[in-house]
Structure 1
Amino acid sequence: MNDFKEILTREAKGHDIELSDEQILQLDVFRSLLLERNKMVNLTSITEPEDFAKKHVIDSLMIVKHIEIDHEAKIMDVGTGPGIPGLILKIYRPDIELSLLESVRKKTDFLRDVIGKMNISDVQVINGRAEEVGHDIKHRESYDIVVARAVSSLNVLLELCLPFVRLGGVFIAMKGGLPQQEIESSQKALKILGGKIVKCQEYVLNEGLMRNLIIISKEQNCPDKYPRRSGIPGKNPL
């Protein structure tokens, strides 16, 4: 067993996350493919085995630990980058139907390549911006769960992500250890876009590293004009 597999096995056990030998092998293959492409295209700055296990894999799997995901749930990962957390969730829960949204072509090229090489089914890769894809009838308000691990502020993420969530579904914003100010600044956006924060799940990812899952339910349909055109949500947040 290599260092990454050993570390991942240990970390999963420490966080009460059950991983099969096959899942650990798949996650190791995913990491190897990602690091190989990372030599040519900047996909991640997290490359060391321990950091990758904790900050990419375990952090992603905190979603399945703390949130109930229905069988064959339809999930979108907005701004997925190299497929994190989306592909990690898919390896853990192969029953889900996954869409990976990413605007950078080099990253979506990698995603299509890794999905093919790993023979992962029921994954759709979308090369586009959330501001535009959010108005596409094939995707708008049609997902059970939407997740974003992006660095944008919560009020920006709400405008980019809530339009994809079906009524009664949830948006999960993966955030750092002190999200309260962002939550307070997002009350206007929540009201406009029909969202309601139902839980802020705090967890310790590593010693001294606190993280949060902000779980937002979709209570009402988003007004048709949202999301606004590309660049506007970030420049002029709700």
Structure 2
Amino acid sequence: MDAIKTYFPDLPADQLALFEQLDPLYREWNQKINVISRKDIDNLYLHHVLHSLAIAKVIKFMPGARVLDLGTGGGFPGIPLAILFPETEFVLIDGIRKKITVVNEVATALGLKNVQGFQQRAEERKGRSFDFVITRAVALMEKIVPWSMPLIHDKQLHALPNGIIALKGGNVKEELKALPRGTYSEIYPIKKMFSEEFFIEKSVVYVQY
């Protein structure tokens, strides 16, 4: 929690209280359904919550926006961002039912009215109804892009045009080379946002719709 308070010093008390509830909730659910490595649960805030919030250093989601978290796993990055942006609607999907069970139970326990979780693959969703697709460690960008682009609409609410925002590690430039010629993308190194060693080789990647 100290890192959250350091990098987001203006959070109101009600949002801080929700972030503080994440630790006991995920510990409880992790005993029933293993959605976070048991070795990693002690690093929940750094490796999962703060990592998710790196997206908020790139974009401030607007009230009324709709965001799809593709392959959310246990709810990252969607749930931390839903706490931070309570007037933005977040739809979290994953192909594994037990993970979506955790997502919906955590969201209910926190009273998050702006979160919906569905057991679903990106290919099963129809219609362009989202401003952004967000994702973390799901697949290579050459797969994420064709899964995501058919779901993003044209109406613009943000200074950053609608598109995909992915949390990635490793050699992101090589991944982006595999995208179709002319695809616009930007890389935001997380080490410029957060000083912890964990983030040295991690990035937020933006691909424009």
Partner of 2:14: 22
Cα distance in 1 for partners of 2:113, 2:48 equals 21
SS at match of 1:53: helix
User: Which protein has the larger Cα radius of gyration, Structure 1 or Structure 2?
Assistant: 1
Cα distance in 2 for partners of 1:92, 1:164 equals 23
What root-mean-square deviation, in Å, do the aligned CA atoms of Structure 1 and Structure 2 show? 1.9
Cα distance in 1 for partners of 2:205, 2:16 equals 27
Cα distance in 1 for partners of 2:4, 2:108 equals 27
Cα distance in 2 for partners of 1:22, 1:87 equals 15
Q: Which ranges in structure 2 are unaligned for 5 or more consecutive residues?
A: 155-160
SS at match of 1:143: coil
Output one character per residue of 1:79-138: Cα deviation in whole Å (capped at 9) or x when no partner.
1111111010011111111101111111111222222222211322221111222xx2xx
Aligned with 1:113 (options 78, 85, 105): 105
Whether the 8 Å CA contact 1:73–1:144 is kept in 2: the answer is yes
Whether the 8 Å CA contact 1:17–1:65 is kept in 2: the answer is no
Aligned with 1:47 (options 38, 41, 46): 41
Whether the 8 Å CA contact 2:166–2:204 is kept in 1: the answer is yes
Give the TM-score of the pair, scaled to structure 1: 0.76
How does 1:117-132 map onto structure 2 within 5 Å? 117-132=109-124
SS at match of 1:156: helix
SS at match of 1:166: coil
SS at match of 2:134: strand
Q: Which ranges in structure 1 are unaligned for 5 or more consecutive residues?
A: 1-7, 219-238
Give the TM-score of the pair, scaled to structure 2: 0.86
* 1:210 Cα deviation from its structure 2 partner: 2.5
Q: Which amino acid aligns with 1:67?
A: I
Partner of 2:175: 182
Whether the 8 Å CA contact 1:57–1:88 is kept in 2: the answer is yes
How does 1:1-238 map onto structure 2 within 5 Å? 8-9=1-2, 11-15=3-7, 18-45=10-37, 46-48=40-42, 51-133=43-125, 136=126, 140-167=127-154, 168-187=161-180, 196-204=183-191, 205=194, 206-207=196-197, 209-218=200-209
Give the share of equivalent positions with the same residue, in percent.
26
Whether the 8 Å CA contact 1:73–1:96 is kept in 2: the answer is yes
Identify the range of structure 1 (159-168 vs 92-101) with the bigger mean alpha-carbon deviation. Answer: 159-168
Whether the 8 Å CA contact 1:141–1:164 is kept in 2: the answer is yes
Cα distance in 1 for partners of 2:114, 2:11 equals 21
Cα distance in 2 for partners of 1:116, 1:149 equals 22
Residues 16/106 of structure 1: CA separation in 2 closer, same or farther (3 Å cut): closer
